[in-house]
Copies of this chain bind each other. A is one copy, B any other.
Amino acid sequence: MNKSSSIIKIKIQNEDFDVSEEIKVLYQNNTGAVVNFVGIVRDYDEKNKQIINSMTLEHYPGMTETEIEKIIIESFDRWELTGVTVIHRIGNLKPFDQIVFVGVSSKHRQNAFDGCNFIMDWLKTKAPFWKFEEYNNQKNWVSFNESDNQALEKWKN
């Protein structure tokens, strides 16, 4: 068997993505497991007790891609992975729209689970995206969630 090279794909885009198509990119030699995370726009802001009309995401072009790439490279160092895809949408989104896709493939399922979980935790704390929610006549920049910093603790070894 020739071991094919690893897949790394990073996309920042306005358009929606198709999960079936994206995970098929990850079906390749030596892969048995694909774990993916999809984040979706909530319909309700619990903190401010408001029904969300829409959400807008902005980012820092150039830095975003570099930070995500660093996280992916770190995940390949930590686990035996065959491929990683990260797609993050920007612009205006509605409740139940897909925001982010993180797909990780591996020969063994636990590596795929851990790699995907790791990338999401780091993306949440390092990738330069900011979002605001729109209520009826309000615009509210979402504030950083301290639990996202705590989530990183499990990757310290």
| Cβ of A119 to closest chain B Cβ, rounded Å | 11
In the assembled complex, the Cα of A107 lies from the Cα of B42 at a distance in Å of 8
- Interface members, chain A 14-41 (any B CB < 8 Å): 18-21, 23, 27-40
Could you say which residues of chain B place their CB within 8 Å of the CB of A32? 39-40, 42
Closest B residue to A145 by CB, please name it.
B108
Asked whether, in the complex, the Cβ of A37 is within 8 Å of the Cβ of B96, the reply is no
How many A residues are at the interface, by size bracket? Answer: 20 to 34
Name the prevailing secondary structure of the A interface residues: mixed
Q: Is the CB of B33 within 8 A of A37?
A: yes
User: Among A18, A35, A44, A51, which residue has the most Cβ atoms of chain B within 10 A?
Assistant: A35
Can you name 17 A-B residue pairings with CB atoms under 8 Å?
A19-B19, A19-B20, A19-B23, A27-B96, A28-B96, A30-B43, A33-B38, A34-B37, A34-B40, A35-B35, A35-B37, A35-B38, A37-B109, A37-B113, A39-B109, A113-B116, A113-B117
